[in-house]
Structure 1
């Protein structure tokens, strides 16, 4: 069955796996602070299509049995075991599985888990070619590579099931070993195009746009601001993104971005006590004057006029 829309955290996903996949072996590990890691193994028949749901965590899994396709932005990849598969919280994927039993060992974790156990100077996962948008999310393995990686994944399951007080550090070390082994493997280069790739790109763009909001604090900065930013995140050319969005929605990429920026700016002006300069900065404008011109162009009011109408101090 599809994952429920309520699944956004590792706790939700952990509960879902334990209640819907009784044959799975699962354990969730809480690290100091907000860090969490969820490890589970599964061997069972699964739904043929697993659409992406919003999940704000990274995932690595070792596919040992079962074939299918991984759809990612404008690309699709044939997946056959043994394979090592990565997903990141920025770019959504969907999995189309062929009939039959699928067996895999999974490790999901949030950014805080990686950061809280990492060494000083350790690069962020977003900088890793294994998770970076534009990289290849699938590594097809030979038998020798499988022989190296499978024991590491088995150790993840074993360590997660213990009550050792420092098990999150041990798991972090095994995850790091898996990433190093993966970096030694050349990624596959053969892709095939799906007939609805343009529609999928438009859908992913709109999802990424929605994820940027709401802005919760004045220090919260938009990660993606321009069509080029979104194209880079999806590893496609900006012209292709613009054509796909226009064809699927009838509006340009720029129009979607402007509409959402105006919507967020209006909410902040009417319901927050952030200064206009803070709102401007959070929305990615280099100077408040640029924000003033942009907002008036699309609403007919300056930010100050919008705020005064709600009787909030500027």
Structure 2
């Protein structure tokens, strides 16, 4: 089966533990980092000058900050300093939830949509958090049988230390709430693509899926998207899935059933009917026309 080339990512391709990795940032130049791993929460402790674009907001900061990234919220990072130092930890919700917490990280004030993901630190706070990151790096390398539990506790301590500090609020925001929500929806939609492997089907397939992720009612999301773009939420989702289906039919040798599954359809017949309704032809015929 043909492979789809993965987008370039700054992250290590293999996590040190299942669902976890931590490392020290190296000195950098004027580079733009775009974080495109779709499955992992991120906490960065950094010192330098940067601009962070988080969903529909932008934040420029010089000094030491903690940044909390949610895989369900699009964001990117522009480094403005010639040197940039600190630490990054990646972890999945499954890894963290092994602590027995029932509340999703998506609802945390630091990670949720509409929350404030950036916390400014003074020197004393930075030194304390530096120690925690160094401890995680040390444990990651160790042979201690329960190191994953210990690491989860360090992550939890970092989160609680951040919650005790007043979050930074100096963001530039869209004035229009509908525009703000639409911007986040469209970026979240695009983050699901390209589909890279068969065993990782689309997580969000309906307007309701996106609304739940964004913590809004589906009708409210639809009104906002239609007001700004002139098209309902479902139309955007349908167009993007169809475009991806066409790309997979053209550029891979996956069979139709595999493509259907990768795009979130429970049965190939559902995908066939969907594709034909939108394009006027079925997937097999479309592929044959390309030969």
Residue 71 of structure 1 and its aligned partner are, at CA, apart by 0.8
Distance 1:244 1:208, change over 3 A: farther
Residue 104 of structure 1 and its aligned partner are, at CA, apart by 0.9
- The answer to whether 1:54 aligns with 2:36 is yes
Distance 1:47 1:296, change over 3 A: same
Is the CA contact 1:59–1:106 (under 8 Å) kept in the aligned structure 2? yes
**What is the TM-score when the length of structure 2 is the normalising length?**
0.67
Structure 2 partner of 1:123: 103
Residue 307 of structure 1 and its aligned partner are, at CA, apart by 7.6
Is the CA contact 1:61–1:85 (under 8 Å) kept in the aligned structure 2? yes
**Which string of whole-angstrom CA distances, capped at 9 and with x for unpartnered residues, describes residues 117-141 of structure 1?**
x233443433433222332221112
Structure 1 partner of 2:21: 37
SS in 2 for 1:140: strand
Structure 2 partner of 1:178: 158
Distance 1:96 1:111, change over 3 A: same
Structure 2 partner of 1:24: none
Structure 2 partner of 1:257: 237
Is the CA contact 1:8–1:55 (under 8 Å) kept in the aligned structure 2? no
Relative contact order: is structure 1 or structure 2 higher (C-alpha 8 Å, sep ≥ 6)? Answer: 2
- The answer to whether 1:229 aligns with 2:210 is yes
Q: Say which of 150, 156, 159 aligns to 2:136.
A: 156
**What is the TM-score when the length of structure 1 is the normalising length?**
0.63
Structure 1 partner of 2:12: 10
Task: Give 1:209-220 correspondences, 5 Å limit.
Answer: 209-210=192-193, 213=195, 216=198
Task: Give 1:294-309 correspondences, 5 Å limit.
Answer: 297-300=277-280
Structure 2 partner of 1:16: none
How many equivalent pairs are there? 269
SS in 1 for 2:103: coil
Residue 68 of structure 1 and its aligned partner are, at CA, apart by 1.8
Once the two structures are overlaid, the 10-residue window that deviates more, 169-178 or 237-246, is 237-246
Q: Say which of 80, 94, 98 aligns to 2:76.
A: 94
Cα-Cα RMSD: 4.6
User: 2-side partners of 1:184 and 1:104: how far apart?
Assistant: 21
Structure 2 partner of 1:26: none
Distance 1:202 1:220, change over 3 A: closer
Query: Which consecutive residues of structure 1, in runs of 5 or more, have no partner in the other structure?
Result: 13-28
